[in-house]
Amino acid sequence: MPLKKLPNTIGNMTNLKLLIARNNDISGIPNEIGSWKNSRELWLGDTKIEILPKLFWTLYSLELVELDSMKLVKIPSDIQNLSKIKALSLCNNIFTSLPKKFEELSNLRYLDLSINKLIENLECIFKLKKLKYLFSNKCNIIKIPELIRELVQIKELNLERNNILEIPLSIGNMKYVAELYLGDNPINIIPESILNLQNLKRLSIIVLCINNFLSHEQFKLLRYYYK
């Protein structure tokens, strides 16, 4: 039977390092969570939680947070307090923007924003210079800023199922990217700078509405590089 409530006494577990409470009917988190100063991982996805208490964002030791499928409508600026976080999953929620302070999560390596109505303030994502895995598929993204060049350590980038019309020239700066997924976008132009991605092993461009793609010779060169 799914759990419906976390007891207030859970705050007594001051040495708790890991909590997995996902896939339950929990609708809220008690303020006593603020005593979990030593917590490293929290898994709360697939619950009925829509708003996280302010004290949640004071758990400074967190390194992994999973908040998938929770109907979160807003990510507060207080998220900047999670300065040690390395992996964050916010998949399948309903927020439409990220706070500017999001860019201060300087230790973030893994970020999943897929299946959200994300349409504003993408620039803060591309300032996360240690990011290695970014999933922003099905987020209603229209434009990728040139700041994508700042993702110098990115290894996997998924931008499928958006409304992207153009890929910026600076995509060629992501020299470590091994997997790039661009399928299901109405892209007009793929820049020649994509040829600079010499570590690329998987490139998905299925169901693209491309008007100005690479020449036949350049595409053959892509196949030679990435086979």
**pLDDT-derived band at 85, boundaries 50, 70, 90:** very high
Cα 179–chain centre separation: 15
Mean pLDDT of 112-116: 95
Domains annotated for the chain, with CATH where assigned, are: 1-124 (3.80.10.10), 141-227 (3.80.10.10)
Q: pLDDT higher for 65 or 1?
A: 65
Calculate the dihedral angle through the C-alpha atoms of 75, 76, 81, 87, rounding to the nearest 10 degrees: 0
Helices within 41-190 (DSSP H only): none
Q: Which residues pair with 89 in a beta bridge?
A: 66, 112
Q: Is 198 exposed, middle or buried (0-12, 13-18, 19+ CB in 10 A)?
A: exposed
Closest residue by Cα to residue 116 from 154, 162, 66, 78? 162
Q: Which residues pair with 19 in a beta bridge?
A: 42
Check residue 156 and report its DSSP letter: E
pLDDT given for residue 225 in this prediction: 45
The reply to whether the predicted model has a pTM over 0.85 is yes
Closest residue by Cα to residue 139 from 97, 88, 187? 97
Tell me the pLDDT of the chain averaged across its residues.
87
pLDDT given for residue 208 in this prediction: 54
In angstroms, what is the C-alpha Rg of the chain? 19
**Per-residue model confidence as pLDDT tens digits over 151-202:** 999 999 999 999 998 899 999 999 999 999 998 898 877 888 988 998 999 9
**Per-residue model confidence as pLDDT tens digits over 132-157:** 999 999 999 998 989 999 999 999 99
